[in-house]
Amino acid sequence: MAGFLPYIDPENANPNIAKEYEGAAINVQIPVFNGHLFTARRRAAEYQLRAADQRVRDLEDRIVRDVRTSWEASRTAYEAISETAQLVQQANLALNLAQGRYNLGLASIVELTQAQLGQIQAQVENLNAKYEYQEAYAALQYTIGSLR
């Protein structure tokens, strides 16, 4: 390190006095006894690395859990479609039977309208199952990163 005093007027200054204001210094640091600072920094870095690794594992576990949950919801919704389709078929058969009985005079209009209501309810359930499957499938696609 070196320096000088810039506010001295060199024309009016005594050359012997100007030398008194000049100086030089050397600053040397040898980290032999630093109070285990480097060891503490290394340990802190290792702990930070372990914490980062744990966060990565936690995120991986969370992603796996989310994908499995979305997959199960999608599979369950898909299976519900075939079940509700069977209900629609049974409701159609029940309506045909009620219509035939009504045409023969063996059933009342109440039985016929109840069969029609059952058919409509089965169709609504089937459409709801299809919608829920599409919703669950879209959620699965989003979870695995296919949709943004």
- Show me where the domains of the chain are located: 2-144
2-144: CATH, from 2.60.60.20, 1.10.1060.10, 3.30.70.2740, 1.20.1600.10? 1.20.1600.10
Between CA 123 and CA 91 the distance in angstroms is 9
Write down the pLDDT at residue 63: 93
Write down the pLDDT at residue 8: 58
Write down the pLDDT at residue 35: 75
Q: Is the Cβ–Cβ distance between 78 and 133 less than 8 Å?
A: yes
Write down the pLDDT at residue 3: 55
Percentage of residues in the chain with pLDDT exceeding 90?
70
Percentage of residues in the chain with pLDDT exceeding 70?
82
Identify the bridge partners of residue 2 per DSSP, sorted by sequence position.
24
- Model confidence, pTM: 0.64
Confidence of residue 114 (pLDDT cuts 50, 70, 90): very high
Name the burial class of residue 4, with classes exposed (0-12), middle (13-18) and buried (19+) by CB atoms within 10 angstroms of its CB: exposed
